[in-house]
Amino acid sequence: MLLFVVTQLITAQTHNIQVDFKKNGAEIQKTMYGIFFEDINYGADGGLYAELIKNRSFEFPQHFLGWNTFGKIEIKNDGPFENNPHYVRLSYSGHTDKHTGLENEGFFGIAVKKDNEYRFSVWSRKSAVENASIRIELIDEESNVITSQKLDVKSSEWKQYELMLKPNRNYPKLKLRIFLTSAGGIDLEHISLFPVDTWKGRKNGLRKDLAQALYDLKPGIFRFPGGCIVEGTDLNTRYQWKNSIGIPENRKLNENRWQYTFTHRFFPDYYQSYGLGFYEFFQLSEDIGAEPLPVLSCGLACQFQNKDEHAHASVGADLDPYIQDALDLIEFANGDVTTRYGKIRSEMGHPEPFNMKFIGIGNEQWGSLYPERLEPFMKAIKAKYPEIKIIGSSGPSPDGKDFEYGWEQMKRLKADLVDEHYYRDPNWFLSGAARYDKYDRKGPKVFAGEYACHPQNRKNNFESALCEAAFMTGFERNADVVHMCTYAPLFAHVQGWQWRPDLIWFDNMNSVRSVNYYVQQLYGHNAGTNMLNTSENKLPLTGQDGIYASSVYDKNKNEIILKIANTSGETRTINYILKGLKNAERAVVKTTLKSVDPDVENTLENPAAVVPVIEEMKIPGTSFQVSLEPKSFHVFNIKI
Ligand code: AHR
């Protein structure tokens, strides 16, 4: 009897996991682990897009939102840029002691770094016969001048002027102030301030630390520009990619639905300048080595927000411009420089095609309205560009009637991939690791386009990251059917968020990678090239005793990569048996993410609360034993 109990205990805690080393296991797509970008939580303006001035073209409906004005100043609307016609006129007050000018508050302030250069630029002309001049200052919260420069404007033609500002130390929260310093008046348009040190040193560039964080994930796919903002609250406010290309000065401002979606996180100054537009998205995809995956409106405004017909483009003449937008986008990305949109891409600085292979049509759509619209899109795209893979939606929920109907329709229409979304609690993730084991292998492939584990407190805590790590073994085990997955949302400003959890948090100075980020990174860096069957007693490990496991082979590195999560509260002993390997001692790199506190998170104050820990070890031959601490996730890279 005692022997029986002891045997039971040992079997409960020791798992014999067999990994079949077959070089020809099903192929893992290069697009497998990726990123999903949306301008939510000040992810673009005020975030990744490095512009420091808010409402730089005075196009917000309240033209001076973000600005404080003083003296004699007025808004005019016959400026040099057709899509953004507003500008300001500064005039002499009539007395030298009474000043005219304006101040910009930036996005939650303007942060600058010691000895870095900041490029101030403005379109300007004098507005009277006399020459005009202004003084540009960065001021702190007590109105002390940190650095300043003078600008003379002698021409009555619109021209762009540039100068550099260089602070002598770090300041987290400044304002930009402009004084009129001449008796002659001046017109100012598109007032901009950028760090010179952007990602790859580009003008109109991206914030370096944030772009670097994306690069460091090694993403295979890059979905943009959202989410709900693709659809718009109404059709007019959907994301229109054509408004996001060409010179930044002429990109038409759009509202951002995340401005007002949650009244408890209400941000009336949240708009989309489109300074980070489709050209920059394609360029960033190229920079980070990810396949670009643009998503366009299917002619349905957000279905959550709208029930009436005015929010839909009717199939036929109404929908045609939407379909044309999709065809033109492919031309913009891939077309020859002699084509209309290929030429625009080339003039923007990229004559080579971006080699786009995927397009998403619609975001979270459901019901018959969606397939009715998707069908003509698919016909038109496949007729002109049969090589482009089309991604359809299965709606906002990963189960239920609408989801089933969505999948059925995607199969009928022969969509190449189907986008699934799930923001669910830890239990859902832990019990769902076998979700894809029984998916139809002959139908469309899966794109888990938005997912994140939401603990009750909606923190990016260790518990949520561990559940995602465990669940993702199910992506890997089913890599023949799951071709892409992207965590969502990507970015959040600590002062300006609307939605959490999020992968990367930042303020104006610094950024922090969440524990969830490190899970994504471990998968991204260890994606492998071929699946390896991983089992215990011929069954996949989908939570037995809290253990989740999967494995891949990487033919480029000639490595076996094992991933395993112990979600239980106890140590688990694992006997790995590597079937099909020659018996020899091998070097192994073991990477661990673990924490005794499930609620711990990485913060700006403590960015390394939980980070991957790397150890080197040796294994004696084709089998080895490891002990997995409670609540831990591990990756073993075994050199062959
Ligand atoms: O990721 C945040 C939002 O969640 C996305 O915009 C939308 O697609 C989903 O509902």
DSSP string covering 179-212: EE-SSS-EEEEEEEEEESS-GGG-TT-B-HHHHH
186-195 vs 87-91, strand pairing mode: antiparallel
| Burial of residue 485 (number of CB atoms within 10 Å: 0-12, 13-18, 19+) | buried
Q: Kindly give the distance from the C-alpha atom of residue 38 to the centroid of ligand 1, in angstroms, as a whole number.
A: 8
Place of tokens 């939980």: 610
Tell me, in angstroms, the distance from the centre of ligand 1 to residue 403's CA: 16
User: Which ligand 1 atom is the nearest neighbour of the CA of 396?
Assistant: 10
Q: pLDDT category, 8, cuts 50, 70, 90? A: very low
Q: Which mutation among 224, 421, 422, 498 tests ligand 1's pocket best, with the greatest number of atoms within 8 A of CB? A: 421
Question: CA 217 to CA 485: how far, in whole Å?
Answer: 13
- Of residues 1 and 302, more confidence is placed in 302
Question: How would residue 24 be classed by pLDDT, with cut points 50, 70 and 90?
Answer: confident
Which atom from ligand 1 is nearest to the alpha carbon of 304?
10
- How high is the pLDDT of residue 308? 72
The amino acid sitting at 112 is: V
Scan for tokens 């202004």, then name that residue.
134
Average pLDDT over residues 302-314: 86
- Residue 211 has φ and ψ, to the nearest 5°, of -65, -40
Mean pLDDT of all residues in the chain? Answer: 96
Ligand 1, atom 2, lies closest to the CA of 489
Minimal-distance CA residue to ligand 1 atom 9: 227
pLDDT at residue 72 greater than cutoff 80: yes
**What CA–CA distances, in Å, run from 370 to 257, 374, 378, 392, 420?**
21, 6, 12, 9, 15
Give pLDDT tens digits for 522-574: 999 999 999 999 999 999 999 999 999 999 999 999 999 999 999 999 999 99
pLDDT at 55 over 60: yes
Residue 16 pLDDT exceeds 70: yes
**pLDDT score of 4 more than 60:** no
Question: Which of 35, 36, 37, 38 to mutate for ligand 1's pocket (most ligand atoms within 8 Å of CB)?
Answer: 38
Q: Is pLDDT at 5 greater than 90 in this prediction?
A: no
Of the pLDDT bands very low, low, confident and very high (cuts 50, 70, 90), residue 207 is: very high
pLDDT higher than 90, residue 456: yes
Q: Tell me which of 159 and 308 has the higher pLDDT.
A: 159
- Residue in 255, 280, 364, 601 annotated catalytic: 364
Nearest Cα residue to atom 4 of ligand 1? 227
| Ligand 1 binding residues, C-beta < 6 A | 38, 40, 226-228, 363-364, 396, 450, 488-489, 499
Q: How far is the CA of 421 from the centre of ligand 1 (A)?
A: 8
Locate the ligand 1 atom nearest the alpha carbon of residue 450 and give its number: 1
Structure confidence at residue 23 (pLDDT): 67
Closest protein CA for atom 3 of ligand 1: 227
Position 307 scores a pLDDT of: 80
Neighbours of 49 (CB within 10 A): 27
Given a contact cutoff of 8 angstroms between Cβ atoms, the answer to whether 292 and 350 are in contact is no
632-639 vs 586-594, strand pairing mode:
antiparallel
pLDDT over 70 at 7, yes or no: no
User: Catalytic residue at 605?
Assistant: no
What's the whole-number mean pLDDT along residues 342-348?
98
Distance from the CA of 361 to the center of ligand 1, in angstroms? 15
Q: How far is the CA of 330 from the centre of ligand 1 (A)?
A: 24
User: What is the mean predicted confidence (pLDDT) over 257-271?
Assistant: 96
What pLDDT, on a 0 to 100 scale, did the predictor assign at position 6? 38
Amino acid at 81: F
Output the residue whose Cα is nearest ligand 1's atom 5. Answer: 227
Given a cut of 80, is residue 9 above it in pLDDT? no
- Using the predicted structure, report yes or no on whether residue 476 has a pLDDT greater than 90: yes
DSSP string, 411-450: HHHT-SEEEEEEEE-HHHHHHTTTTTTTS-SSSPEEEEEE
pLDDT at 133: 98
pLDDT at residue 12 tops 60? no
User: 229 C-alpha to center of ligand 1: Å?
Assistant: 8
Atom of ligand 1 nearest to the CA of 363: 8
SS3 517: helix
Kindly state the tokens that stand for 502: 């999020």
Model pTM score = 0.97
Which of 38-52, 103-117, 295-309, 351-365 shows the lowest mean pLDDT across its residues?
295-309
Assign 11 a pLDDT band (cuts: 50, 70, 90).
very low
CA–CA separation, 376 vs 368, rounded Å? 14
